[in-house]
Amino acid sequence: MNKDKGQLIVALDVGTLDEAKKLVYTLDGLVDIFKVGSQLFASSGPEAVRSILRLGKKVFLDLKFHDIPHTVASAVRAVTAITESGQGILMCTLHTLGGLEMLRSGVVAAQAQAQIGRIAKPWLVGITVLTSEEKEDNITGLVLERALLAKQAGLAGVVASSQEAALIRRELGDDFLIVTPGIRPSGTAPDDQRRITTPQDAIKNGSNFLVVGRPIIQAKNPAVAAKQILEEIKTAVS
């Protein structure tokens, strides 16, 4: 899996594994990476991850671990051990609010478990500020501070709004991953997101991965909606 800009991740923010698998089938040939978040993981557990891996797809596991270092290390070790046919998760989220020691403990745990399982180590990415939070004067500085902490801890990157992505890219370099949620194509309702952006702007600002949920999964035709977003991405990176 490369780190090129503008890779689409579809968020499987649905209540059942059957719904999730139906979406994966529907988007086959278009989308390679799917996000499993708290809702789907709470209802279906590790089987949600294994089912998607069995379909030949990559999994971004977005559980936003935030606890004492020992507990987070144990959680990261457990999700890194979720494999199918020698494949594990692609990425996993930790919350940077947990601090340096907690983040480092996750990095060490992921590396150790990946070696035991003889799989690629998942990329750990740090949550900075949720895109549902209102834009305030101090958010940009706060996001950069948390991104710097993530890099210091050895994380592969961060989850951040496109509105801060350009600053993160400039300050932390090209090898630092930026995962951007809150992506809304032109003319799409923002729902409960506050700091949204278009695919073109996210790519222009340096985002590697664009996470899209409701504009695709709630569309009358998810495949058509995904194709439209992929066309916007293609135009932006060309």
Q: Just list the catalytic residues.
A: 64
The angle, 0 to 180 degrees and rounded to 10, between the axes of the packed helices 69-80 and 100-117 is: 30
* Integer-rounded Cα radius of gyration of the chain: 17
**Number of other CB atoms surrounding residue 190 within 10 Å:** 13
CA distance 168 to 179: 11
Cα atoms in the Cβ-side hemisphere of radius 13 Å centred on 70: 0
SS3 12: coil
Cα(94)–Cα(170) distance, rounded to whole angstroms?
23
Q: Which stretch of DSSP H or E encloses residue 109? A: helix 100-117
Token pair 């998760």: residue: 89
Q: Which of 40, 31, 38 is nearest to 58 (CA)?
A: 31
d(CA 152, CA 12): 31
Q: How far apart are CA 10 and CA 8, in angstroms?
A: 6
